[in-house]
Structure 1
Amino acid sequence: MEHTVIPATEALSRKDMEGACNLLRIALQVLLVRAVNFVILASDEMRDVLPHDDPLLKKCIDPMDALARST
């Protein structure tokens, strides 16, 4: 994961949206292949990297929703 998530955040900070999107997709697919059901994206900026109609985004949970559900 450190080979995809950290470079994705670095690409995002460089305003390389295409690179960040590709790396985030790879990271999400790796997690989902490893039997993870849902992924909590702890950054709103990361949620905005993927298009709103992306099927991978359906497997991601908003951090505020996760916090509200846990209480």
Structure 2
Amino acid sequence: MARISRPDLTGAAWRKSSYSNQAGGDCVEVADGFREAVVPVRDSKAPQGPALCFEVASWTAFIAELKAGHHRP
């Protein structure tokens, strides 16, 4: 996997996972459409903390596997 440079996430429009709840459960935020080749992901409980940046193809494959139920609880 090729390593891509870390983008400047200033001004990114973050959205919280639809699985988030008001009780502060395990949540992630994603900045969709940030850059064509990158999907930034961060912990919604620590928005000032680090973000992971995934290639779009990798993130899309990951989400497809989750939706298909190919994960462990």
Fold similarity call, TM over 0.5: no
Q: Give the alignment's TM-score, normalised by structure 2.
A: 0.25
The structure carrying a bigger strand percent of its residues is 2
TM-score when normalising by structure 1: 0.26
Q: Quick check: which has more Rg, 1 or 2?
A: 2
Task: Return the structure number with greater helix share.
Answer: 1
